[in-house]
Structure 1
Amino acid sequence: MRRAALALCCLLTAVPALAEDLPQGPKAPPPEPLPDAICDIAKPDSGDWLLGRWVAPYSKWEFKREAQGLTWTLEQKPDINRDLGYKQGTVIDGKVSELSACTFRLTAVENGETAFNFEGVLTDGGKIYGYATNKAGQGARWILRRQR
């Protein structure tokens, strides 16, 4: 096994162009733009499909039904989302501002300003592809899956 790994490393260092084509992260990012919705987005929905815990690399998301409607919490693990300016251990809370049977928009408000926006779409495979932006306009792409 070690010899195979060593041979692969030697091959990749010998041919740098091939090494550049390899995936750079733990998971491929969602496609741009987001996939088309698989549901009728004009129909209202209770959001039961969204409730519960979802995970993405280095983050946990939880969606709950509360008196004021659907709410969410995002907890960052390591500093993976430097693009948004958030550090390890950051917790963001907000509300689900728009919802259909397969799409949603999340917002978090801080000091009267929208501090975080997230737009997501549920795919046939049961994953959520989405984009987030902070108040400075910086963005990041996400793939969420149900926590096991």
Structure 2
Amino acid sequence: MTPLRTLLSLACLLAALASPSLAQDLPKGPKAPPPEPNPEPICDTAAPSSGDWLMGRWVAPHSRWEFTRAADGKAAFGLEQKSDINKALGWKPGTRIDGKVTRLTGCTVRLEAGDEAVPAFVFEGVLTADGKVYGFAVNPAGDSARWILRRER
């Protein structure tokens, strides 16, 4: 742990001990959850964009996303689910889902997975200033899952 992280952890612990009401505001897990709803876009979503910012590999806990562009220029994605963390969507560990990018701006994306008539899920994401994509997916039954995607290292 870096000295800065140690100092921040100590400050949070002291704040929690000093005021029990502050302790209720601290994240309950090792990482804070994605914001809900998604953050406001940092770009003009009406302006044309090639969407090159999205292409490549992204990761989230227990999943890997890959965004590619076909010869015809259309963008597509593949999602490899490593665990049943998003079991609310009815997925099993090791699930592979492919789909298409249906809207792409300079900082937002909409994805549809599975059958065109009834998609397995629809994902809405927003690129943030720190280079992460905050997003959520909803299946036809109304179940949802949230993600924070970051570039694969």
Q: TM-score, normalised by structure 2?
A: 0.79
Structure 1 alignment gaps of length 5 or more: 1-16
User: How far did residue 116 of structure 1 move?
Assistant: 1.1
Q: Which has the higher strand share?
A: 1
Query: Residue in 1 aligned with 2:33?
Result: 29
CA distance in 1, matches of 2:89, 2:115: 15
- Flag as ranges the 4+ runs of structure 1 deviating above 6 A: none
Aligned length: 132
Structure 2, unmatched stretches of 5+, are 1-19
Aligned-partner residue type, residue 143 of structure 1: I
Question: 1:135 Cα deviation (Å)?
Answer: 1.9
Match of 1:61 in 2: 65
> Out of 43, 46, 52, which is 2:56 matched to?
52
Deviation at 1:112, TM superposition (A): 2.9
Tell me whether 1:93 sits opposite 2:98 in the alignment.
yes
1:59–1:25 Cα change, 3 Å: farther
Secondary structure of the residue aligned to 1:34 is coil
Q: Per-residue deviation at 1:44?
A: 1.8
Aligned pair partner of 2:111 in 106, 110, 132? 106
Q: Distance in 2 between matches of 1:55 and 1:25?
A: 19
SS for the counterpart of 2:48 is coil
Q: Is the aligned partner of 1:77 residue 2:82? A: yes
Percent of pairs with identical residues: 62
Query: CA distance change for structure 1 residues 72 and 144 in 2, over 3 Å: closer, same or farther?
Result: same
**CA offsets, 1:32-82, max 9 Å, x none?**
111110000001211110000000000000000013500000000011111
Q: In structure 1, what is the Cα distance between the partners aligned to 2:29 and 2:61?
A: 10
RMSD: 2.0
Q: Give the aligned residue type for 2:63.
A: S
TM-score (norm 1): 0.81
Instruction: Supply the distance in 2 between the matched residues of 1:64 and 1:24 (Cα, whole angstroms).
Output: 36
**8 A Cα contact 2:107 2:126, kept in partner:** yes
After TM superposition, give the deviation of residue 136 of structure 1 in Å.
1.4
